[in-house]
Structure 1
Amino acid sequence: MDTGFPDLLKPFLKYAGTEPITPDASLTDLGLDSMRAIELLFAIEDTYGVSMPDELLTNHTFATAGSLWATIESLRGRAA
């Protein structure tokens, strides 16, 4: 994960607190719900210049910070 990614996540995670967000952090446990996931999706697309296709909008993609970051990296690789 790049250093700015946890900062991007924090506003969408109502239970994140002050602890660092690690790649294995469960986004659901940290308070990500379906409405916040949509808002997070828009923030990711704007920040990282990617477009997430519908087939990647799954519970697995949004399960952990690491799984979401891996998806972003994969999309960035396709665009390069």
Structure 2
Amino acid sequence: MDEEIRQVIAGAPKLRDIVPGLPADADLWDAGMDSVTSVQMMLLLEDHYGVEFPQAVLTRETFTSIRSIGSALAPLLDEQRATPR
């Protein structure tokens, strides 16, 4: 899932050149992400995966790294798969 997340968040203009070589556990904030970019990234992820991040996970920690994003997405995707359409 890390690589798919990497590709999705690279759609945020400020992350486009940063994300490709960044380790999955590297701090995106330290790499240059700001609050506007984090919102862009969140919207890209929600659109791509067809989920909505609940208020409880809208924290700086959730969006600190590709790996932490994956940890927040996993239960949302599990719930999505378990819910009949």
2:38 aligns to what SS in structure 1? helix
Gaps of 5+ in 2: none
**1:3-62: CA deviation from partner (whole Å, max 9, x where unpaired):** 32212222432661652x322111102221111111111110110111101111001101
| Partner in structure 1 of residue 25 of structure 2 | 24
| Partner in structure 2 of residue 4 of structure 1 | 4
Letter matched to residue 49 of structure 1: G
Percent of residue pairs bearing the same amino acid type: 28
> Equivalent residues in 2 for 1:1-80 (5 A)?
1-12=1-12, 13=15, 16=18, 19=21, 21-80=22-81
- CA separation of 1:46 and 1:17: change in aligned 2, threshold 3 A: closer
CA distance in 1, matches of 2:77, 2:47: 12
- CA separation of 1:58 and 1:11: change in aligned 2, threshold 3 A: same
Aligned length: 79
Tell me if the contact between 2:11 and 2:44 (Cα under 8 Å) persists in the aligned partners.
no
CA distance in 2, matches of 1:2, 1:18: 11
TM-score, length basis structure 1: 0.82
- CA separation of 1:39 and 1:2: change in aligned 2, threshold 3 A: same
Q: Which moved more, 1:2-11 or 1:42-51?
A: 2-11
TM-score, length basis structure 2: 0.78
